[in-house]
Amino acid sequence: MTRLVVLLLGLSLLAALGCGDSSDPQSAQGEGTSSIASTAPDPTPDPVPADAPTPFTAEEIRAASKVGREWQYRVEDGGTTRWVIMTMTAVDEEGATVRSSTRGGEGVVSGEPVETRSTWEEMRGHAVFPASATTIGEETVETAAGSFDCVRYAVERDGSTATFWFAKSLPGGPVKSTVEKGGAVTSKQMLMKHLPGS
């Protein structure tokens, strides 16, 4: 399955955590001495995060995932319509195995199912976007799978806007995504059914 189908994510996963110096400035001084510099505020501003915060943590995705959890998406792209079905076939503390299959617009299976193994952190990483190109908001989305209160990510890249709606109640992939270019929607993905697994 292409990354466009999964989340349309070709964006880099970057480390964005700033680390402070945990050493004690007083410990390097001799007894009976003081230092004005040690109590003065650090003039260096905190670094601007390279990445926007993700909608879910790896732990939240893990806690929501069980064997049999399934997403069924309707995907419209390039004038064609197909269904993409993703099912978790194995789940453990480190990650999950997901079987993906594709069906044409008339329900005919296209190709053989593919199984891939991902860690929970890798799944979280699918929703990492550059902060400078991302606008985050909230919106309620109606889908065939239900009505969801979502966090919306609009990501600008190469003259296109990719928008993802992540349901707060369903940690994992988006319940809806679109790509717009020149004012026209060129690709759309909608969640049609979600099974929680057991």
Domain residue ranges of the chain, discontinuous segments joined by +: 51-195
Sign for the pseudo-dihedral over CA of 63, 64, 70, 71: negative
Q: Is the pLDDT of residue 34 over 60?
A: no
Mean residue pLDDT of the chain comes to 79
Q: Is the pLDDT of residue 183 over 90?
A: no
Q: What pLDDT does residue 1 have?
A: 38
Percent of the chain, pLDDT > 70? 73
Q: d(Cα 167, Cα 194) in Å, to the nearest integer?
A: 12
Q: d(Cα 164, Cα 190) in Å, to the nearest integer?
A: 10
Task: Please tell us whether the domain made up of 51-195 is placed in CATH 2.40.360.20.
Answer: yes
For the whole model, what pTM was predicted? 0.73
Would you say 95 and 122 are in contact if contact means Cβ atoms under 8 Å apart? yes
3-state helix, strand and coil shares in percent for the chain, rounded to the nearest 5: 15, 45, 40
Q: What pLDDT does residue 179 have?
A: 95
Q: What pLDDT does residue 56 have?
A: 96
Closest alpha carbon to 163 in 176, 147, 173? 176
Q: Is the pLDDT of residue 168 over 90?
A: yes
